[in-house]
Amino acid sequence: MVVDEKKCEKGLGLVRGMKVLYIAKRGPNNIAAKTHLSVIKAIYGADNVIEIDLLKALPEHKDRYIAYGYNSKNLGERIIRFLQGNSPFISNKIIGDLCSIIRENRISLVFSEESDLGNLYKKIKDTFHNVRIICFFHDISADLFAKRIDDAPKWKQHYILECKNIIKQEKVTQKYVDEKWVFNQADAERFMAHYGYAPDEIIPMGAPIPKTSEEYKKIVTDKEDKKQMLFVCSSYYVNIDGFKWFYQNVIPNLKKKYHIIIVGTGAQQLKSLITNEDIEILGRVESMAAYYESADVIIEPVFDGGGMKVKTIEALSFGKVIISTTESLNGYWEAVPEALRGKKIFRCNTADEWIVACNSILDSEIRRYNSDVFNVFVEAFSEDVLQKRFSHSLRNLCKD
């Protein structure tokens, strides 16, 4: 992500030079975390930001970057962390180490993408009274993990106990961090329902503008041609469950020719279910760009989760026709003009709504790139918009 540092610096005064500790367990492909980190580095200066990676499997320690190494299969370590009252990604030893980093580097601000590290934030606030902490709630664990507990088989007691621990840790988090930020109004309402007050900021997701060719922007699929539908399927259970529902309730009622491609790390989990020859499972791919460009329509039958869905912002950035649930459009739908609703961006929740929308699209001429859809992305969800929102909120915090 390329960030205009001059824009970020303007009016910030003493902000440049503040030391920041950035904490995440999101992985290199998480668009939201990547853009947040880029803007933070632009505002405070890359040399003043120390990045803590709690997800990377192998430990690594280099200039301004530390990965502690996380192995989810190390049952002994997970038990130790559970008995300490921590979520699986952090231990008392790591908490102590992070406090040493704060002290040695004179950290003024901690920015974390994780709401389940409550013991860490409590320790920081107890030890360093002047250090400010911002936590970005990518979802509301009190809501999400309660559903996971309800859906988990009773024999999975170890999993259920970890979910309960994560919920407890988020409760500690909201008590001790200075700022609670969320992606959208739906998550703000979930937060309020569980904690009795509103989060401090609602800052939607932002993403870079993808590079596309002029040839791509001219492609039109004829009304009578077979339509290519794309489903992006990470290993997150909400994607697996969502497509199973779509396969059972919608696909048998599609009347026109279609070809569905399923791409992503979770795609292989659907292989045993699918016998339809018009559905192609590809699994993990190096780059999604070619698949977005070749798709006529993006489908997003996802009914659970939280935050904002990456697949939606990617689809908007490629100017695609989208058929989606309310859950996958949370944070986006508000920015969609009335002229596009039900015509190029469809919000469907029942099987009947999905069947009508899909059959309507399959029986239509489709432009693979729609400038009016792309404009929604540019005006509301591009990296430039995120940069302005983020910078404004950070400036206000520093003024306080």
Which uninterrupted H or E stretch holds 164?
helix 157-176
| Residue 57, domain member (yes or no) | yes
- State the residue range of the domain holding 127: 5-206+384-399
Burial class (CB in 10 A: 0-12, 13-18, 19+), 58: exposed
- What distance in Å separates the CA atoms of residue 248 and residue 66, rounded to the nearest whole number? 45
Please indicate, yes or no, if residue 176 is contained in any of the structural domains.
yes
Q: Are residues 188 and 261 in the same domain?
A: no
Band of pLDDT at residue 3, cut at 50, 70 and 90: very low
Q: Once rounded to an integer, what is the mean pLDDT over residues 151-180? A: 91
For residues 39 and 147, membership in a common domain is answered with yes
Is 211 part of a structural domain of the chain?
Answer: no
In a domain, residue 174? The reply is yes
Q: Is residue 25 situated within a structural domain?
A: yes
pLDDT at 9: 44
Q: Clarify whether residues 86 and 99 are in a common domain.
A: yes
Judge whether residue 366 has pLDDT over 90.
Answer: yes
Q: Same domain for 135 and 202?
A: yes
Tens-place pLDDT, residues 275-314: 888 999 998 888 889 999 999 999 999 998 888 999 999 9
Same domain, 46 and 85: yes
Yes or no: say if 70 and 55 are a contact pair by the CB < 8 Å rule. Answer: yes
| pLDDT given at position 2 | 41
Look at 220 and 383; give whichever has higher pLDDT.
220
More confident position, 345 or 1: 345
* Full-model pTM: 0.84
Of residues 104 and 151, more confidence is placed in: 104
The mean pLDDT of the chain is: 90
Give yes or no for residue 133 having a pLDDT over 90.
Answer: yes
Local confidence band at 194 (pLDDT 50, 70, 90 cut-offs): very high
Looking at residue 147, what is its pLDDT?
84
Is residue 267, in this structure, part of any structural domain at all?
yes
Do 199 and 221 lie in one domain? The reply is no
Report the alpha-carbon distance of residue 19 to residue 17 in Å, rounded: 6
- Within this chain, do residues 151 and 197 fall inside the same structural domain, yes or no? yes
Spatial separation of the C-alpha atoms in residues 212 and 378, rounded to whole Å: 14
Q: Is there a single domain that holds both residue 168 and residue 227?
A: no
**Do 242 and 195 lie in a common domain?**
no
pLDDT at 84 over 80: yes
User: Is residue 191, in this structure, part of any structural domain at all?
Assistant: yes
User: pLDDT band for position 16 (50/70/90)?
Assistant: low
Statement to judge: residues 41 and 165 lie in one domain: yes
**Percent with pLDDT over 70 in the chain:** 95
As for how many domains the chain has, the answer is 2
Query: How many other CB atoms are found less than 10 A from the CB of residue 175?
Result: 12
Q: Is residue 91, in this structure, part of any structural domain at all?
A: yes
List, as one string, the DSSP characters of 289-302. HHHHHH-SEEEE--
pLDDT digits (tens, 9 = 90+) for 205-215: 988 899 999 99
pLDDT confidence bin for 400, thresholds 50/70/90: low
| CATH code for the domain of 129 | 3.40.50.2000
Identity at 41, one-letter amino acid code: K
Question: What is the model's pLDDT at position 305?
Answer: 80
Say yes or no: 293 and 163 in one domain: no
311: number of Cβ within 10 Å:
25
Distance CA 109, CA 339 (A): 43
Tens of pLDDT, residue by residue over 57-81, are 899 999 899 999 987 778 888 899 9
Q: Do 9 and 149 sit in the same domain of this protein?
A: yes
Mean pLDDT calculated for residue range 368-379: 97
